[in-house]
Amino acid sequence: PIKQSLEALVYHRIYSPISFGKKYDPNGDYIRHFIPVLKDMPKEYIYEPWTAPLSVQEKARCIVGKDYPKPVVDHEAASKECRKRMEEAYASNRLGGNPVKGNSSNSSRRKFSDGGQDVPDSSMSKQPRKRS
């Protein structure tokens, strides 16, 4: 019973790279050290430089899209999707299903927006790796 209670909580814990950094390194010292292009970004924008006004980006000599990449994913949307998939996987596990073997309806597949087709998740492929 305790293990099941703990497992039920695990998938709800998805850390935000933004709020986690703001909480544990509010000045952004770690970011400034390892991503030098952000060293002059004000601390209000260090974890979300794409939200800084252009004038702030220019002053910091870090233009998003030129000197620093635009966000690759929308973290809020990705977290919701991850939470949904984890919930499906845990539910399947509780019911005795195995999402890896295909007993779950959708957990090992993803939809691509360009074609709307279900395509096997590449992480689930069984192709052997080439050794270098």
The pLDDT averaged over each successive group of 10 residues in the chain (132 residues) is: 54 78 95 97 96 98 97 89 86 67 47 47 49 54
| Burial grade of 35 (CB within 10 A; 0-12, 13-18, 19 or more) | middle
| pLDDT at residue 124, rounded to an integer | 45
| pLDDT at residue 1, rounded to an integer | 53
| pLDDT at residue 8, rounded to an integer | 52
Quote the CATH superfamily of domain 8-95.
DNA Cyclobutane Dipyrimidine Photolyase, subunit A, domain 3 (1.10.579.10)
| pLDDT at residue 100, rounded to an integer | 54
| pLDDT at residue 103, rounded to an integer | 46
8 A C-beta contact, residue 42 and residue 56: yes
